[in-house]
Amino acid sequence: MLSSMKAMSQYLPATSNRLLVGIVVVAAAIYGLLAVVLTLNIIRAPLALLGVLLLATLSWGMWRLKQWARWITVGAIWIGIIVIPIGVLNPFAAMDWEGGAPRWEVLAFWIALGVAFGLFVLHILGKHKGEFKW
């Protein structure tokens, strides 16, 4: 069992902190998934190729623990933490929902959960920024 865990860890990002490994793997997987989704739209929107290249590079950069990929990820999370709650909870967003807007308590719960998770990821990426190299 131990030898299979050691063999598996050689393919994971090169850091000893398991929580950081988990965050990096999830971030790289999200970037990779977005790159695949954009790849499916290249026929309809040829400029999506630039997005595919950017997201694939970011996925690789996070997996290899590159400092520039960490900066971009931190910036994207901060934008998500600040912009998404404002965009969802504004009074004009309710006009676009068919069947009426969900209850504000439900929206506030899910937004707070997303913001808390984003802040947690920012904390982990900030605490272990010494692990990221150029």
Query: Taking CA 82 as the corner, what is the angle to CA 99 and CA 102, rounded to the nearest 5 degrees?
Result: 15
33, pLDDT greater than 90: yes
CA distance 54 to 62: 12
pLDDT in tens, 102-116: 677 777 788 888 899
Q: Domain coordinates of the chain in residue numbers? A: 15-64, 66-127
Q: Is the pLDDT of residue 10 over 80?
A: no
- Above pLDDT 70, what percent of the chain? 81
Assign 94 a pLDDT band (cuts: 50, 70, 90).
low
